Amino acid sequence: MSENTHLHEEPSYLVDTGKRKGILAWLTTIDHKRIALLYLWSIMVFFIVGGILGETMRTELYKPGQQFYGPQTYNAIFTLHGLIMIFLIVIPGLTVVFGNFVMPIMIGANDVAFPRLNLFTWYLYILGAAIVVVSQFTGDGPPDTGWTFYAPYSTQTPLLPWAIYATAWIQILATPVIGITLLMIIAERTFHIGFFDPALGGDPVLYQHLFWIYSHPAVYIMILPAMGVITEIIPTFCQKQIYGYKAIAISSLAIAGVGYFVWGHHMFTSGMSKEAIWLFSILTFLVAVPSAIKVFNWVATMYKGSIDLKPPLLYAIAFIFLFMIGGFTGLVQGALATDIQVHDTAFIVAHFHYIIFGGVGFAFLGAIHYWYPKMFGRMYSNRIANIAWGFLFAGFNLLYFPQFIIGLEGMPRRYFDYLPQFTTAQQISTWGGYILAIGMIIMIVNLFRKKGEKATANPWGGKTLEWTLPSPPPMENFTTPPVVPEKPYNYD
């Protein structure tokens, strides 16, 4: 790739150059990199809140019976934990932080197509978050962040943009369904038009269908950008061209396509049509294939690479391992006979967290460790990052793996209290939760103590365009449009 063509004296985007200074400059910025950081800080605050809520639940579940709060509080807390984690963090997370920061640079643009709209979505996000917090347990989720996407310009696009592009399609097509569903609920509550309430002549299963028509594709909204991040990290730390570029790009779009038609697998016990059941089962199995293809290509990329096991790669490998466990246990739910047993049990809790936290969460942490030098212009301590990773990996598995076992034994989910035979597993989970929290604290302290050495433009030897800019990049990314003479991931 061409050498950095930038004038070095141009100030970084972190320095205020406009009329406004300090916090005002940040709140009125239309620079995609600053908006990315606005999102990063807000998401971090919400994540800490959601994480603390989760830890209180684990503490409450340490023993059978009530420990320190009652069932009403517990139910409210798991609802709020889910709302915050899913709607405020996981669904927008990777896209708004790294999609915003890296993607315009990767495709050689100076900003997103509609920068003011981009800032506006952050305000919508904060407004939605405020509504969630204020209405606490009555809200059905804040508005989804709908910042306008734009298609990649050329076939020489790195793979993260392909993943984000596929995600954008899901968001555009699936999100209206949840919007319509919310309108129907309002109509039912206000005008007593019976859609879902059997007392008014409605069908409660219809609500489940509509909810999952949105919410299952939403899971792909969450995981696709994570897969995109992993696809960026692996080639860099193996100094090797990504294996199966086309297969990976097509499998993202295949997941986005088939992902619409598998929602029924959330409802195998709802009493829906038995003919629909087998169709949903077979489609669910098929949607697993593109994910498997990605895993094979990632591992194949490592073959005969020159592997540098830096923290981002450690997170990427942990992602593949945890995502495989999440994926395989997903097959258990795709298979009809076994889904009946594990449906609505702790097994689902474990599977879901393996995908969302082990998958999306670890990819997010990998992405932070990967682009951190670019975002802030400094390095962090690799040694401490590795220690934090160790705590997170061990804590995560101790926390969620026992839930698979008690789920198989029938322990239902969303239970404030449980039978004595589940106690040992619940206690291991609680300890795992604390170890995970320690890992988080170590990681955050390591990243934000601001003592690291200055980062060079390309500390990891990456080949995508963001590494041609100084760290941190200047306000307007490229003074002259970059020339991209080769395919991405060319390490020859």
Tell me which residues in 295-314 interact with another protein (CB under 8 A).
295-296, 299-300, 302-309
Check residue 205 for interaction with another protein (CB under 8 A).
yes
Q: What is the spatial distance between Cα 421 and Cα 319, in angstroms, rounded to a whole number?
A: 32
- Contacting residues for 369 by C-beta, under 8 A, at least 6 apart: 310, 311, 312, 315, 380, 385
How many residues at the interface with another protein, by CB under 8 A? 76
Report the residue from 276, 340, 441, 445 that binds another protein according to the rule CB under 8 A.
Answer: 340
Report the residue from 68, 337, 450, 483 that binds another protein according to the rule CB under 8 A.
Answer: 337
What count of residues does the chain have?
Answer: 492
Check residue 486 for interaction with another protein (CB under 8 A).
no
Tell me which residues in 413-452 interact with another protein (CB under 8 A).
413-419
Q: What is the spatial distance between Cα 462 and Cα 146, in angstroms, rounded to a whole number?
A: 30
Check residue 491 for interaction with another protein (CB under 8 A).
yes
Check residue 185 for interaction with another protein (CB under 8 A).
no
Report the residue from 139, 410, 452, 459 that binds another protein according to the rule CB under 8 A.
Answer: 410
Residue 377 has what DSSP assignment? S
Check residue 189 for interaction with another protein (CB under 8 A).
no
345: helix, coil or strand? strand
Dig out the tokens for 43 from the structure. Answer: 């998401």
Q: Are 60 and 190 in contact (CB under 8 A)?
A: no
DSSP 150-215: ---SSTT--HHHHHHHHHHHHHHHHHHHHHHHHHHHHHHHHH---SS-GGGT--HHHHHHHHHHHH
Dig out the tokens for 164 from the structure. Answer: 């984000």
Compute the least distance from the CB of residue 285 to another protein, in Å.
4
Binding segment for another protein (CB under 8 A), chosen from 47-55, 200-208, 219-227, 359-367, is 200-208
Report the residue from 270, 424, 456, 479 that binds another protein according to the rule CB under 8 A.
Answer: 270
Backbone torsion region of residue 348, taken as left when φ is above 0, otherwise alpha when ψ lies between -120 and 50, otherwise beta: alpha
Check residue 334 for interaction with another protein (CB under 8 A).
yes
Check residue 344 for interaction with another protein (CB under 8 A).
yes
Q: What is the spatial distance between Cα 229 and Cα 366, in angstroms, rounded to a whole number?
A: 8
Binding segment for another protein (CB under 8 A), chosen from 176-184, 325-333, 351-359, 466-474, is 325-333
Check residue 408 for interaction with another protein (CB under 8 A).
yes
Between residues 111 and 339, which has the closer beta carbon with respect to another protein? 339
Check residue 72 for interaction with another protein (CB under 8 A).
yes
Tell me which residues in 224-243 interact with another protein (CB under 8 A).
238-241, 243
